[in-house]
Amino acid sequence: MPQNQNTNPNGNLNQTSFSPNQNTPVYENQNLGQQFQNNNNVQGAYGQYDNRSIGVSPRPNGLGPGVNATNIKQNFARNQVQSNPIRNQQQQKPQQQQRAGKIDKNSREYLERLSAADLRKEVINTEIEIQKKLLKSEKYYREGVSTIKDLISPSSVKITTGSIELGTKIVRTFFVLTYPRVISSGWLEGVVNADIPLDLSIFIYPRDSSEVLKELKNKVGKIQASLQLNAEKGQARDPALETAYRDVEGLRDAIQQGVEKFYRVGVYITIYADTPEQLEKYSQGVEGLMSQQNIIMKRAALQMDDGFISSLPILKDDLGVINNMNTSPLSACFPFVSSELSSNDGVLYGINRHNTSLIIFDRFGLENANSLVFATSGAGKSYAVKLEILRSLMVGVSVIVIDPEQEYKVLADTLGGAYVNLSLNSPNRINPFDLPKPLPGETAADILRSAVVDLIGLMNLMLGKLNPSEESIMERAIQESYAKRDINENSDLGEVVVPTMTDLVEILNGIVGGEDLAQRLYKYTEGTFAGLFNQRSNINIDNNFIVFNIRDLQDTLRPIAMYMLLKFVWSEVRSSLKKRILAIDEAWIMMQYEDSAKFLFGLVKRARKYYLGVTTITQDVGDFLNSPFGKPIVTNAAMKLLLKQSSAAIDLVGDTFALTGGEKQVLLQSDVGQGIFFAGSRHVAIEIIAFPTEHKIITTNPKDILDNQVNE
């Protein structure tokens, strides 16, 4: 049917056209139809458009690309004011007004919806752009920040046949090739505790028991066939085959009963060194430790990169050298084995920090009963010694202490011990000329000879170092002083009256060249120090616990007093044989002088013969070990207690006691009362703990002392 079309001056399609029924006007191309359905759709000549969509997407049979949201909004208002000149305008006016009102309402709602949709779209697009910019900035940031990989990666890697150069380190990997028939528990302990920087990896692959049983069954059949064949041939029995048969059958029974399981195990060791020479030294050390146990270990030649990766904590076994193992030998591969120092006899020294077991030990059961305590100030060395003294007294051991700082007075008073104060004003005196009673087999000549040597050492401390001529004169004068009291090689030393310093001065004044020495001894015989050194001994040591206090002596007199005390104690020790401990606190004082250090060394060396254990205690490790007699004293101490050490002394201590790097760190990081306890060739990490009652007696902490006084 023909349509009436009007064209505008531009030749474009007019705003209106009519449908085939000529009754209902429709809008096409750029115009929005005047009819709105109940579902808010726009009806056009060629299809429908949903005004709820942002871009007015065409449905099937739609208008095509000419229609869009912008055109709809521009033309809709224009179409509302247009009228139809053909129709009766008077009759249509109310209807048009009603329709126009409806269209105005719907158009406003539609425009609002379009505006909100455009706004949401703009917001979404803006957010997307912001996210893109943030991601781009994050990318640039991450590119400029170091990662963990950057921090741990070496500056360079060079792989050779027998090693890998990782930056400044040289690396070599070993693998265990074969094991002996029987391996001992903790066979890896020697490698782990060696002073060698290394990584140890153990890969364990469980195997299906049913498959293993089938393989073992076949293995048994082959061994039985070999044994039968040898028997038929009349050959001698083969011990190796018979042993293998018993082992396989025993393993079959254990697996069948669930007692054992089967595994495939790979053990790799990677060592690190700074130089090729050091690498070779470490390599020989590891190989030697393994060969001692009949374990064959090989270097991962041509596979160093795989070996190194297999030693890293990333669960990657690139080397793949494995051995069959059942549960029992596999348990022996556990690398961390704690030593225990525990026995039925002795005293409790502390708690093993590795496994919390008790460290109970009898020092008199070692090759010698001497001990050594090294620690920094405030680390608890005197506390540890007092705790040992307290517990030793409980088991019947006598104790003698030389106390330069009056730390043992409370302990002595509490336990009913003898506390002897040596000072210029005290009534207690020791005669340096005292002689011990001879033991069976000893002669008076031996005792006199030893006494003369000890007195010459004392004179070197009193008068300064004597030259050879002066020493000869002094030796002659000492011998004549004893002779003056009728003491000679044939005397009964138990009944004699020994000389004093006054007798020595009189003899020196009668010897040519001795007058000067006599004059120098004046302050010890008639001068300021006469009361301390020139009187007969009046100290009774008939007590199981004796403490000699020298705190009130001047610093110049302390080495002399300690020397005299040790000589006096030694005389008493030689006279009566019983279990004794001699504790020498601040022993570094004696190590400052050659003669006193030499005397202390002689005492330590001979103590075992007289059932004596000498405990040397010091905080000045440098002065002690730098003495010519320092290390010999250490060597002659079977028991050692190393508590917290300073960083300045740790290398010297480490070299002296052959400590590993890990053990050095233990001493540097230890708290008060923690350290390493040595007993012969064994040593463990120790923590010294006292019971509350013991703590009250032995503590010197001012706060604890005040708390005890308040509680009392």
Domains in the chain, CATH or no CATH each: 1-82+94-145 (no CATH), 157-331 (no CATH), 371-430+544-639+687-712 (3.40.50.300), 445-536 (1.10.8.730)
Q: Which class for 93: exposed (0-12), middle (13-18), buried (19 or more C-beta within 10 A)?
A: exposed
The residue that leads in pLDDT, 688 or 84, is: 688
How far is 73 from 84, CA to CA, in rounded Å? 22
Distance CA 583, CA 562 (A): 12
379 or 104, higher pLDDT:
379
pTM: predicted TM-score of the whole model, two decimal places: 0.60
Q: How far apart are CA 332 and CA 407, in angstroms?
A: 48
Cα pseudo-dihedral 294, 297, 298, 304, rounded to 10: 180
Question: 682, 652, 679: which is closest to 667 by C-alpha?
Answer: 652
10 Å CB burial of residue 70 (0-12, 13-18, 19+) is: exposed
**Packing angle, helices 558-575 and 594-606, rounded to 10:** 20
Say how far apart CA 610 and CA 581 lie, in whole Å: 11
Segment 516-570, tens digit of pLDDT? 999 999 988 888 888 788 888 888 878 899 999 999 888 888 889 899 888 888 8
- The number of CA neighbours under 13 Å toward the Cβ of 585 is 23
Contact assessment for residue 135 and residue 142, using Cβ atoms and an 8 Å cutoff: no
Taking residues 130-147, report their average pLDDT. 74
At residue 359, φ and ψ (nearest 5 deg) are -100, 100
Name the least confident of 89-103, 155-169, 640-654. Answer: 89-103
Average pLDDT, the chain: 82
pLDDT of residue 97: 57
Ramachandran class of 441: left when φ > 0, alpha when ψ lies in -120 to 50, beta otherwise: left
Q: Is the pLDDT of residue 27 over 80?
A: no
CB 46, CB 63: distance < 8 Å: yes
pLDDT of res. 30 = 39
User: Between β-strands 25-26 and 41-43, what pairing exists: parallel, antiparallel or unpaired?
Assistant: unpaired
More confident residue, 191 or 38: 191
Quote the DSSP letter at residue 627.
S
Q: Specify whether the CB–CB gap between 581 and 397 falls below 8 A.
A: yes
pLDDT average, residue stretch 374-395 = 93
Separation between Cα atoms, residue 461 and residue 594, nearest integer Å = 9
CA distances from 348 to 360, 619, 689 (A): 4, 23, 10
Structure confidence by residue, pLDDT tens digits, 336-351: 766 677 778 889 999 9
Find the length of the chain.
712
* Spatial distance between the Cα atoms of 422 and 166, rounded to a whole number of angstroms: 64
Say how many Å lie between the first and final Cα of the chain, rounded.
126
Q: Which of 185-194, 496-505, 508-517 has the lowest mean pLDDT?
A: 185-194
Q: Could you give the percent of the chain with pLDDT greater than 70?
A: 81
The SS3 of residue 215 is: helix
Residues contacting 178, CB < 8 A, separation 6+: 295, 296, 323
What is each CA distance from 513 to 197, 473, 477, in whole angstroms?
64, 7, 11
pLDDT at 539: 86
Residue 707: band (very low, low, confident or very high) from pLDDT cuts 50, 70, 90: confident
**Cα–Cα distance, 309 to 306 (Å, whole number):** 5
Q: What is the band of 687 on the pLDDT scale with cuts at 50, 70, 90?
A: very high
pLDDT of residue 357: 86
What pLDDT is recorded for position 45?
37
Supply φ then ψ for residue 202, to 5 degrees: -125, 115
Contact, 319 vs 266, CB < 8 A? yes
- What tens digit of pLDDT does each residue of 465-478 get? 899 999 999 999 99
Longest dimension (CA), the chain: 169
What residues are paired with 325 via a beta bridge? 263
pLDDT of 600 over the 70 cut: yes
Rounded mean pLDDT, 224-247:
87
pLDDT band at residue 54, thresholds of 50, 70 and 90?
A: very low
Concatenating the DSSP letter of every residue in 102-144 gives HHHHHHHHHHHHHHHHHHHHHHHHHHHHHHHHHHHHHHHHHHT
623 pLDDT more than 50: yes
Q: What is the pLDDT of residue 235?
A: 85
Residue 111 pLDDT: 58
* pLDDT score, position 110: 59
Angle between helices 69-80 and 89-143 (to 10 degrees): 160
Q: Is the pLDDT of residue 453 over 80?
A: yes
Selection from 533, 539, 532 nearest residue 505 by Cα? 533
Q: Which residues, 6+ apart, have CB-to-CB distance to 94 below 8 Å?
A: none
Strand partners, 269: 174, 200
Over residues 185-225, the pLDDT tens digits come to 889 988 887 889 999 999 999 999 999 999 999 998 999 89
pLDDT of residue 271: 97
pLDDT at 625: 86
* pLDDT (0 to 100) of residue 102: 55
What torsion do the CA atoms of 439, 542, 551, 412 make, to the nearest 10 degrees? 130
**DSSP state letters, 330-347:** HHTT--------B-SSSE
- The DSSP code for 499 is -
Residue whose token pair is 């209106």: 16
Q: Distance (Å, rounded) from C-alpha 96 to C-alpha 81?
A: 10
Q: What is the mean pLDDT of residues 489-499?
A: 84
Residue 96 pLDDT class (50, 70, 90 cuts) = low
- Mean pLDDT score, 298-312: 95
Spatial neighbors of 231 by CB under 8 A, at least 6 apart, are none
Average pLDDT of span 605-630: 89
Nearest-angstrom CA–CA distance, 621 and 571 = 29
Average pLDDT rounded to a whole number, residues 21-35: 40
- The one-letter code for the residue type at 650 is I
DSSP string, 388-412: HHHHHHHTT-EEEEEESSS-SHHHH
